[in-house]
Amino acid sequence: MAQQVNSGGFPLKGLFTGMKVTFLELLKKPVTVNYPKEKEIPVARARGVIALDTEACTVCMLCARECPDWCIYIEGHKEEVPPAKEGGRVRTRAKLDRFDIDYALCMYCGICVEVCPFDALFWSPDYEYSEFSIADMLHDKERLTEWLATVPDPPALET
């Protein structure tokens, strides 16, 4: 048996309360942001797009493998780096050739950012990167690096 809801007061009071609410709303300024003309500035830590720090990336492929949509494409090769000291051993390091994210596939889960062990991926608040063709949503590492400039500094460590 459903419980009878009685907020007290005279009958049909709810109808007039509703009309009062809508009338007050009518007098308020609408919340609409007229997008192309005026822009909403998202909060600094908004999750708009994923930015890449190519210097930090070690081509470990963890992000590409963890990505649920398989929207990250990484290619790289190894190159030799001269030894740090004279007579030392020649080092090899991985060099990033291609780092593309297909934003038509990406579902913005952020697992790649979480999983990156070298802090190469970041959330950026930028959101204006739509394209007319869905194929153009595949953004390369140059584009991803541009967004790095919009990434806010990490919060200060707790002391």
Partner 1 sequence: MNFWLELVVKTVLVLILVVLPVALVVIFGELKISAHIQSRIGPYFAGGRFGWAQPLADGAKFIQKEDLIPAGADNPVFRFAPYVVLMGTFATFVVIPFGPDLAAENLDVGIFFLLAVSSLSTLGVLMAGWSSANKYSLIGGLRAAAQLIAYELPLVLAALAVVIQAGTLSLSGIVEAQANMEIFGLGIHLPYVLTGQILSFIIFTIAALAELSRIPFDMPIAESELTMGYLTEYSGLRFTMFFLGEYAAMISLAAVASTLFLGGYYLPGLSGDALKVAGPFILLGKTLILCFVFIWMRWSWPRLREDQLQSLAWKWLIPLALVNIVVISIFKVVL
> In angstroms, how far is CA 12 from the centroid of its own chain?
48
- From 31-39, 81-89, 102-110, 149-157, span contacting partner 1 (CB under 8 A): 31-39
Distance CA 142, CA 121 (A): 13
Stretch of residues binding partner 1 (CB under 8 A), selected from 3-11, 26-34, 104-112, 139-147? 26-34
Nearest C-alpha neighbor of 47 from the set 138, 111, 2: 111
43 belongs to the binding site for partner 1 (CB under 8 A) = no
User: Between 32 and 133, whose beta carbon lies closer to partner 1?
Assistant: 32
Binding mask 3-22 for partner 1 (x = CB under 8 A): ------------x--xx-xx
| Distance from C-alpha of 141 to C-alpha of 146, rounded to nearest angstrom | 9
* 76: number of Cβ within 10 Å: 17
Q: Does 28 bind partner 1 (CB under 8 A)?
A: yes
| HSE-CB of 18 using CA atoms within 13 angstroms | 4
Q: Which is nearer to partner 1, 2 or 15 (CB)?
A: 15
Q: Does 31 bind partner 1 (CB under 8 A)?
A: yes
Let me know how many helices (H) and strands (E) the chain has, helices first.
4, 5
Q: How many chain residues interact with partner 1 (CB under 8 A)?
A: 13
User: What does the binding site for partner 1 look like in residue numbers (CB under 8 A)?
Assistant: 15, 18-19, 21-23, 25-26, 28, 30-32, 34
